[in-house]
Structure 1
Amino acid sequence: MPSALAATALESSSVVGPDVVALAPATLAGVGVGLTDALAWISIGAFMIALLCQWRGATDPARRIGAVAWLLFGIFWLTMVPYYYYEMQSPLQTVLSLAALPLCAYTGYLLVGGRESLLILTKAVAFMGLIYLPAETIPVFRTWLIETTAAQTHYGMELLGYSPGLSEGAYGYESRFDFDPDETVTGRTTYIILACTGIGSMAIFGGLVAAVSAPLKRKATAFAAAIGIIWFLNLARNVFIGLASPWGWFQQDWLVSFMTTYMGAEASRVSFLVAHNYIAQSLSVIALVGITYLVVRIVPEVLAPLEEVLYILSGSEYDLFEALGKEEYRPEGEGVDTGPTAD
């Protein structure tokens, strides 16, 4: 669950795909991708049914259906493991996707066991899916996002004095930076994929803001601020990795030796992997924390689903509203259950 959300965020901030990638196993073939998309839509559909039941006052069915939705959501992330491990070669994303299934299953267990407060987190994930899945599964949206991001990234490169041009990249999109392999250090280039558009991180904050009850003006302000920052930082990462890969900014001999010997990397991909999997992803975590802080300042009500995330991760109750002096924003009737008290 929280790992699943983190994996989505990291995927969206993974900025560029390598120009040449190793073939992944059959789970990444057309049938596997179709299964993954189907699991995503089914799980989000189940989340929405659970919320409909809650809205109609049927709390017990809402909890049971929500538990099934969480389990399906965890299985969805499990199907993403081969992609992260074989194609993206990202240890962090692989571990997060593996951790998602037990965490999602545990969330479902808590829901069935009576933790009704988890329905607000269920609502947040449902809205995240409604924002993200159309871009993932509807071709016209996906094409527009990828090609627009590629054009904006190319403009960013031009501002730094590079103008490689764009050509057809993976899956037929005009998204490949057309560097001349005879002129660059590594002979490689990169292309934009959906994960480069920032849509995953945008979906996370959009879902959190949409799930809580707060004045529309504050919610719109928080959403606009989060989207604007994510767009700018994601564009900067696109430019950084898009230049680091062909021009070999991290092709130092000692680093190439380490990555090829201990990490199984191709020598020509070292600069890409260092820039993409280590520098960009580490910075994305810091950026997500900062954006979360900003959103909480504008819409403190999002602390409610964040408290549920902390409970699932730690098994302990946290009162973030009290800790941050935001008690007046706590949803009516909700609070931290500290257990029975002695007379």
Structure 2
Amino acid sequence: MWSFVTTPGSAPAVGVGVVDAVPVISAVISSGMTDWLAWVAIGAFVVALALQWQDRPGPARHVAAAAWVVFGVFWLTMVPYYYTDAQSPLQTVLSLAALPLCTYTGYLLFRGRDSLMLLSKAVMFMGVIYLPAETIPVVRTWLIETTAAQTHYGMELLGHSPGLAEGPEGYRSKFAFDPDETVTGRTTYIVLACTGIGSMAIFGGLIAAVKAPLRRKATAFALAVGVIWFLNQVRNVFIGLASPWGWFQQDWLVSFMTTYMGAEPSRVSFLVAHNYIAQMLSVVALVGITFLVVRILPEILEPLEDVLFVLTGTEYDLQEALGEEVRADGGHAAGAEDSSGSGSNAE
């Protein structure tokens, strides 16, 4: 999930609101246990898939089921951050829903739904892609500062050149707008979630998990990463300018956000741009990117069918619905000829 942080002038960000009902979870986050839970979950998925490779389906299902439960607990520990600091309704709801959904997925696996091992494999690869960026300082620094520099370049194309300064986290990632010259007196800085690495990890995990020719998998991955990178830069520039210049500081909106959402008046433009407009459009973008990737790699429909089953309890045949037939060897079905009429299947 993408995120962004706003600060008043050069001061560090301050979360708005208090979640008194979850002090224990907040303590877990501050202690660093969240990263530990993520590593445990991904490690358990690795063990489960190793057991499956050794042709031990029973133990593999049981370990994967436990991994799903730990994965759900990990997302639960993120709720206080999304609610208090990020003030993101969408991310808060998704994090709350993750524990029951992950627990149900583990239950289905434990009861013998072997097809969920492919989805487990995808989640494992997602973690392998994302966690190094989250936990290895040099990787994290490079991603954040590179994204900040690229976002600043995008601002310059629109006539704004605030410069970059060190943000509260110690990275050169804060847009140094003069608080005396802007409308809200606030500015923003880039955090890891602003880099788009989370969305890239989702598609990378799905693509790596399925069986298909390497050429098509590489093409699908390059397409997904390229589109995510471009849209993420547009999003970062939009939020980075909307916050200091008060694009959404209309009186009625400020009144609503401060009265019912507990927002600081000067932070309204940031919250509207980031938590509502950008995040909602991000969901639309992910659906669109999925459609593009499926045209190249229809094999990823298989784990997506299991996602829909977990969410709805209904079996879906997405391949039939979208007209994407897939051969057992990972290619397109016979008869799916290329447009040249030569009769050969395009890979």
Provide the residue aligned with 2:325 in structure 1: 327
Contact 2:298 2:325 in 1 (8 A): no
Q: SS where residue 170 of structure 1 aligns?
A: coil
Contact 2:305 2:317 in 1 (8 A): yes
| TM-score of the two chains, using structure 1 as the length reference | 0.91
Match of 1:22 among 12, 15, 32: 15
Greater mean deviation of Cα atoms: 269-278 or 316-325: 316-325
Quick check: 1:131 aligned with 2:129? yes
Shift in Å at residue 27 of structure 1?
A: 4.8
Provide the residue aligned with 1:188 in structure 2: 186
Shift in Å at residue 279 of structure 1?
A: 0.4
Provide the residue aligned with 1:305 in structure 2: 303
Shift in Å at residue 331 of structure 1?
A: 7.0
| Residues 204-215 of structure 1: pairs in structure 2 closer than 5 A | 204-215=202-213
Q: SS where residue 169 of structure 2 aligns?
A: helix
Shift in Å at residue 304 of structure 1?
A: 0.5
Provide the residue aligned with 2:201 in structure 1: 203
* Cα 1:175/1:207, change in 2 over 3 Å: same
| One-letter amino acid of the counterpart of residue 318, structure 1 | Y
Which fold has the larger relative contact order, with Cα–Cα distance below 8 Å and residues 6 or more apart in sequence?
1
Shift in Å at residue 262 of structure 1?
A: 1.1
* Cα 1:31/1:200, change in 2 over 3 Å: closer
Distance 2:31 2:210 in 1: 32
Shift in Å at residue 99 of structure 1?
A: 0.3
Provide the residue aligned with 1:69 in structure 2: 67
Gap runs ≥5 in structure 2: 8-12, 331-347
* Cα 1:26/1:186, change in 2 over 3 Å: farther
When the two chains are superposed, the root-mean-square deviation of aligned CA atoms in Å is: 1.5
Q: SS where residue 121 of structure 2 aligns?
A: helix
Shift in Å at residue 320 of structure 1?
A: 1.1
CA deviations 1:67-124 (Å, max 9, x no partner) are: 0000000000000000000000001100100000000000000000000000000000
Shift in Å at residue 326 of structure 1?
A: 2.4
Quick check: 1:59 aligned with 2:47? no
Provide the residue aligned with 1:335 in structure 2: none
Contact 2:72 2:101 in 1 (8 A): yes
Contact 1:304 1:330 in 2 (8 A): no
Provide the residue aligned with 2:155 in structure 1: 157
Count of residues in Structure 1 that have an aligned counterpart in Structure 2: 320
* Cα 1:92/1:222, change in 2 over 3 Å: same
CA deviations 1:154-201 (Å, max 9, x no partner) are: 000001000000101021000000000000000000000001000000
Provide the residue aligned with 1:261 in structure 2: 259
Match of 1:49 among 44, 47, 50: 47
Distance 1:299 1:254 in 2: 47
Quick check: 1:82 aligned with 2:80? yes
Distance 1:216 1:178 in 2: 44
CA deviations 1:305-336 (Å, max 9, x no partner) are: 0000011011111111122222334679xxxx
Q: SS where residue 189 of structure 1 aligns?
A: strand
Distance 2:294 2:302 in 1: 10
Contact 1:27 1:33 in 2 (8 A): no
Contact 2:166 2:174 in 1 (8 A): yes
Shift in Å at residue 226 of structure 1?
A: 0.3
Provide the residue aligned with 1:252 in structure 2: 250
* Cα 1:237/1:29, change in 2 over 3 Å: farther
Contact 2:28 2:34 in 1 (8 A): no
| One-letter amino acid of the counterpart of residue 315, structure 1 | G
Match of 1:148 among 146, 149, 154: 146
| TM-score of the two chains, using structure 2 as the length reference | 0.90
Distance 2:226 2:327 in 1: 25
Q: SS where residue 292 of structure 1 aligns?
A: helix
Shift in Å at residue 29 of structure 1?
A: 6.3
Provide the residue aligned with 1:117 in structure 2: 115
Shift in Å at residue 268 of structure 1?
A: 0.2
Contact 1:321 1:330 in 2 (8 A): no
Distance 1:62 1:170 in 2: 43
Identity of aligned residues (%): 73
Shift in Å at residue 55 of structure 1?
A: 0.9
CA deviations 1:200-234 (Å, max 9, x no partner) are: 00000000000000000000000000000000000
| Higher normalized helix content (fraction of residues) | 1
